[in-house]
């Protein structure tokens, strides 16, 4: 399985500052919701707001993945986009990285989410999500009775535990879109997102939290690939948190 090579090889960063290989293109002329993203494109939408916490909505291969959930995330990501999330990933269990999770849950649910949202993140994630689900039981019931059933249905309000990243773990995999999480100190997790475009080329996106671990390198049986890194206060990174513009990695 060639994917196992990605999990086992040593950490290695190759950024645009090193060899100019990245083909990321930032576009800021249009508001986020007006930018058209094709199903075969690999694009990044900002969601971190003014607080500076890491947050990005990754659209690739027809999937929608949210990384980070800071307070105010629903101010930048529409309810319809939140309802259509395929997975959410947390950089840490620190308050600044999870304060917006209730916004993601509530807005997506009311906008028509059809099933529980699966959330991946650091060790301890399952206990936190279980507590949140219990905490929302009574408010949800009251809302259901007094305001009527949300479009998504009652069960769609739940937050479902996904992969807990204890050391490194494959957290999402459709074959052409893969996410690996790498655990570091203080529960902080770095994510590597790999997308294979229609031409067979791989494009890697490394999402580093502030003071996070170095990511694992990728290995794709000698397939052509590019790499884009988003980090905090790192002069070698291609982009910095908070992301301010829609950025297309490929397509």
Structural domain harbouring 243: 2-25+39-250
pLDDT at 211: 81
30 within some domain: no
Residue 147, domain CATH = 3.60.15
Q: Which pTM value belongs to this model? A: 0.84
Q: Measured between alpha carbons, how far is 166 from 3 in angstroms, rounded to an integer?
A: 18
Considering the domain boundaries, does residue 33 fall inside one?
A: no
- Which pLDDT tens digits describe the chain residue by residue (251 residues)? 333 333 333 333 333 333 434 455 555 434 455 567 888 899 999 997 667 789 999 999 999 999 999 999 999 999 999 999 999 999 999 999 999 999 999 999 889 998 999 999 999 999 999 999 999 999 888 887 888 777 777 778 899 999 999 989 999 999 999 999 999 877 799 999 999 999 999 999 999 998 877 777 776 555 667 899 999 878 888 999 999 899 999 87
Residue 31 lies in a domain: no
- The number of folded domains in the chain is 1
- Residue 9: what pLDDT? 33
Contacts of 245 (CB under 8 A, 6+ apart): 26, 27, 28, 46
Q: Is residue 90 situated within a structural domain? A: yes
Q: Which residue, among 96, 153, 156, 86, has the nearest Cα to 120 in the 3D structure? A: 86
Residue 32 lies in a domain: no
pLDDT of residue 189: 95
pLDDT at 84: 94
3-state secondary structure of 5: helix
**pLDDT number for residue 50:** 66
Rounded distance between C-alpha atoms, residue 78 and residue 33, angstroms: 8
d(CA 228, CA 42): 12
- CA–centroid distance for 212 within its chain: 15
Give domain status of residue 178, yes or no: yes
The answer to whether residue 34 is domain-embedded is no
For 181, counting Cβ atoms within 10 Å of its Cβ (0-12 exposed, 13-18 middle, 19+ buried), the class is buried
């Amino acid at each position: 399985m060639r994917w196992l090579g990605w999990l086992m090889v040593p950490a290695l960063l190759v950024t645009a500052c090193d060899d100019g290989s990245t083909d990321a293109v930032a576009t800021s002329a249009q508001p986020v919701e007006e930018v058209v993203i094709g199903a075969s494109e690999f694009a990044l939408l900002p969601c971190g707001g003014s607080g500076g916490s890491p947050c990005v909505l990754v659209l690739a291969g027809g999937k929608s993945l949210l990384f980070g959930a800071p307070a105010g995330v629903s101010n930048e990501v529409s309810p319809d986009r939140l309802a259509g999330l395929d997975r959410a990933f947390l950089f840490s269990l620190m308050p600044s990285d999870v304060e917006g999770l209730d916004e993601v849950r509530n807005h997506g649910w009311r906008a028509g989410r059809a099933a529980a949202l699966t959330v991946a993140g650091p060790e301890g994630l399952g206990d936190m999500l279980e507590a949140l689900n219990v905490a929302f039981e009574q408010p949800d019931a009251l809302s259901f009775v007094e305001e009527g059933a949300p479009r998504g249905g009652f069960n769609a309000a739940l937050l479902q535990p996904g992969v807990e990243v204890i050391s490194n773990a494959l957290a999402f995999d459709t074959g052409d879109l893969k996410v690996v999480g790498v655990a570091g100190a203080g529960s902080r997790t770095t994510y590597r997102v790999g997308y294979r475009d229609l031409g067979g080329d791989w494009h890697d996106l490394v999402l580093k939290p502030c003071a996070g671990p170095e990511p694992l390198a990728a290995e794709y049986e000698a397939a052509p690939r590019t790499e884009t890194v988003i980090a905090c206060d790192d002069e070698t990174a291609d982009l910095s948190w908070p992301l301010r513009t829609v950025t297309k990695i490929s397509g």
